[in-house]
Amino acid sequence: MLTRPRLALVAAAGLLATGLACAHAREFDVKGGELRPALDAYIAQSGVQLIYKMEDVKDLSTRGIRGKIAADAALERLLDGTRLRVRRGQDGAMVLIAPARSPAAARSEPPPRVE
């Protein structure tokens, strides 16, 4: 059974590992196209924990990335041209955030058709 000090040490080690994975350059080969499969490839190649909502990446695309680059910079390049931003959670995981829709944008959409 883990005691509180040991549990804290394990949690700190996990945060450190995530931070190191983001800071060191590594080789990436993520194809351009739909963003969701590109993000999945990024996760597999970077070892970074990335959290996102499926509806936030739907219908978005990326130019992809190729070359030796830090994981943080690679993710920023993948997201270039999208409305998504990256935030690091308290646990070290990276979270994709879509900006909130403005009330004006929501009002400008036509109401759904009912037949």
Q: What is the pLDDT of residue 58?
A: 94
Architecture of domain 25-99: 3-Layer(bab) Sandwich (3.55)
In a structure prediction context, what are the per-residue pLDDT tens digits for the chain, which is 115 residues long?
555 555 444 454 454 444 444 568 999 999 999 999 999 999 999 999 999 999 999 999 999 999 999 999 999 999 999 999 999 888 888 999 998 876 655 555 565 555 5
Considering only the C-alpha atoms of the chain, give the largest distance between any 2 of them, rounded to a whole number of Å: 63
Residues with Cβ within 8 Å of residue 53, at least 6 apart in sequence? 96, 98
Place of tokens 């040991």: 6
Determine if the pTM surpasses 0.75.
no
Secondary structure letter of residue 92 according to DSSP: S
